[in-house]
Structure 1
Amino acid sequence: MENDPDAGVPMGAPHRPGDDWRCKDDAEEWPCQVFRRRMWSLYQGNRPRLAEVMGGFRDKATATLPDLTPKQAEARFVGWVHDPPVRRRLRAI
């Protein structure tokens, strides 16, 4: 199976990375929390496939971010996959 990090993620979707690997919408380091939640939902908890996809993004980022160590890249792009994003609960007013 080809490791295509953009598979299933529309390029025009919000919370995409900019050239500096910061989120275009909230300026957080990418992948931002919104994107992580979106990907978790999209892959419905399929951690191996999600890790594979995010590994593709990791590889693209390390090619353009020379100061990012392999350990930092792994933690930032793939490490969160095994610890699902926390969903906030809305409280009634």
Structure 2
Amino acid sequence: MANSPQSKKRARQAEARAAVNKARRSRIRTFLRKVEEALASGDAAAAAIALKTAQPELARGITKGVLHKNTVARKMSRLAHRVNVLAHPVAA
């Protein structure tokens, strides 16, 4: 348990920061869920729009230190690929 005034303040700050980060992560997941739902419905236009709105949120997650840059790069890449496949199916 925190005893010194400095450690007590640090504990308060950590708690506040954790709440902010939790809200940010939740917001990002909501945007990702919207992309997933658009992909599942098969609507290429809606999926492209959802991806376009999700990308800045993901990038903001990097700058705010909530997500690692490689994690975001991987997620964006995979989602973009799935949206492109949906929009332009390859004739097999």
TM-score by length of 2: 0.39
Q: Whose helix fraction is larger, Structure 1's or Structure 2's?
A: 2
TM-score by length of 1: 0.39
Larger Rg: 2
